[in-house]
Amino acid sequence: MNIKNIKSEFPIFKQKINGKPLVYLDSANSSQKPKVVINRMSNFYETEFSNVGRSVHSLAVKATNRFEETRDKVQKYLNAKHREEIIFTKSATESINLIASSFGDKFIKEGDEILTTELEHHSNYIPWHFIRQKKGAKIKFTPVNEKGEVEIDEIKKLINSKTKIIAITHISNVTGAIMPIKKIVDLAKEKNIPVLVDGTQGAPHLKIDIQELGCDFYAISCHKMYGPNGLGILYAKKKWLEELPPYQGGGGMISEVMKDKVSFADSPTKFEAGTMQTAEVVAFSEAISFIEKLGIKNIQNHENEILEYGIEKLKKNNSVNIIGDPKERGSVMSFVIKGIHPHDIATILDEDGVAVRAGHHCCQILHDKIGVPATARASIGVYNSKEDIDILCDAINNCKKVFNI
């Protein structure tokens, strides 16, 4: 892959930060946007904009067609069985909240159990916490081992007759551990337990074949896939969408409204209440095309090469402690430097033009488990190179000099 050419497709890299070339190592937080996505969004507003699914004039029909074409494209990209299984939301967070609320209201009762892990982002915990409070359910946490991963045998130990759903991340946004989703789904199927996968970190970096994975629900954050902010995707098996009640009420999601009764539209419309983020959906089609043009396997191989190079270099720095050592790892390197707070690390790295994230990365339970309040995190995207890693390591050494380490 010609990274120089790929990087040139992202306008943001034309600028400098504090007089230095931008080294963006925060893609796990949000990826940068290629010009094709930016242009498509702008062009839609300039030439095609209208609300979707409402009016019959030319602009409305055209906008609706573009909107639904993206749904078809997402279905094909994920290899979902039916286009109706693709729901547009405002974020992966909303996608998970939708399932927690709708599934929880209908299928979870007092004493039932929700099985998750200590790896989870708050977005795959807090929605279930609300159901715990509302229904008197329990949340069971599969423990993380010393390598920063969750073992399937530990999941198996916690499954019982009270387990109503398994909610699990595809890739940890702290340790980078890649979960064996298909094995977990196969295990759950033996007990007829549905599985929700938080694919926020999985979808940008792995080939996702929904039918092969077999999960019931899969949540995606489009802004981490080189797409626009404010857009998420929920994949849900058709059988669940037919059974689950709507998450929100309003325009567009109804079939008929009378004073004494209301009936709802079929999926996916039933779960897309109100005015949809049309421009974002249309532009996301270009993000998928961008990924398909490069090839997700090529992207994965490139990112793995940069990740391995980065881990090898960071390990050579005696002051740096990398968090986790999973057998299979996504493009995330979280680390600490003894004697320097992660926020100070991130601030000083920024002076050298290096963008990383610092904090608990919305994974406070995991940070409590590993015994640190926060970490610095360098995460890799398709535009990163070994040179970026070299600059990161030089910036870390500069940081150590500031603190006389």
For the chain, how many residues are written? Answer: 405
- Residues 151 and 177 sit within 8 Å (Cβ to Cβ): no
- What are the two backbone dihedrals, phi and then psi, of residue 138, each rounded to the nearest 5 degrees? -120, 150
Is 203 exposed, middle or buried, given 0-12, 13-18 or 19+ CB atoms closer than 10 A? buried
- Which among 215, 362, 393, 399 is annotated as catalytic? 362
Paired residues of 329 in beta bridges? 177
Q: Which among 233, 196, 222 is positioned nearest to 117, based on CA atoms?
A: 196
Residues 6+ positions from 264 with CB-CB distance below 8 Å: 246, 253, 254, 255, 270
293 burial class (0-12, 13-18, 19+ CB within 10 angstroms)?
exposed
**How many Cα neighbours within 13 Å face the side chain of 273?**
11
363 assigned to active site: no
Classify 93 as helix, strand or coil.
Answer: helix
Q: What is the DSSP secondary-structure string of 323-350?
A: S---SSB-SEEEEEETTB-HHHHHHHHH
Residue 161 CB: number of other CB atoms within 10 A?
8
What's the DSSP call for residue 14? G
Cβ pair 380, 204 in contact under 8 A: no
* Dihedral angle, C-alpha 67, 71, 73, 79, nearest 10 °: 180
CA geometry: angle 78, 306, 319, nearest 5 deg: 125
3-state helix, strand, coil in the chain (%, to 5): 45, 20, 40
**Residues tagged active-site:** 362
